[in-house]
Amino acid sequence: QVQLVQSGAAVKKPGASVKVSCKASGYIFTNYDVHWVRQATGQGLEWMGWMNPNSENTGYAQNFQGRVTMTRDTSISTAYMELSGLRSEDTAVYYCARGGFWGGSGYHFYMDVWGKGTTVTVSS
């Protein structure tokens, strides 16, 4: 079945980097955009950015510009999100999700398949 399997929880020190993986199965990986969304405890969903696995084009939310990098390895149908310069406020559950495409009248923004989430804790 169609699924996204994310890497396990991580604990990092302030200033470090974390790289979360998201392995796709059950569909053609390069046919769908991959988005990354996070949720800090008690907060709402926050969109971080997207990547087109075919072209490797990316777009990042302003809040993460300069700190986030989204990449992929098509040979293993896996997307990656690396966040650097971690601070305590980055403690959150990070989700990858499939979906969205550019149509004639703009971007169809939706995510129809989600990973189960990766908890990243930033603590000294």
Partner 1 sequence: QSVLTQPPSVSAAPGQKVTISCSGSSSNIGNTYVSWYQHLPGTAPKLLIYDNNKRPSGIPDRFSGSKSGTSATLDIAGLQTGDEADYYCGTWDTSLIAGVFGGGTKLTVL
Question: Given the rule CB under 8 A, which residues bind partner 1?
Answer: 35, 37, 44-47, 49-50, 59-62, 95, 97, 99-100, 105-112, 114-117
In whole angstroms, the minimum distance from the beta carbon of 112 to partner 1 comes to 5
DSSP 32-43: S-EEEEEE-TT-
73 or 107: CB nearest partner 1: 107
User: CB 74 → partner 1: shortest distance, Å?
Assistant: 23
DSSP of 53-89? TTT--EEE-GGGTTTEEEEEEGGGTEEEEEE-S--GG
CA dihedral 82, 64, 87, 6 (to 10 degrees): -40
| List of residues 6+ apart from 74 with CB closer than 8 A | 29, 30, 53
Q: Minimum CB separation from partner 1 for residue 124, in Å?
A: 26
Q: Which residue has the tokens 């405890």?
A: 41
Pairing assessment for the beta strands 34-39 and 113-114 based on DSSP bridges: unpaired
CB of 35 to partner 1, least distance (A): 7
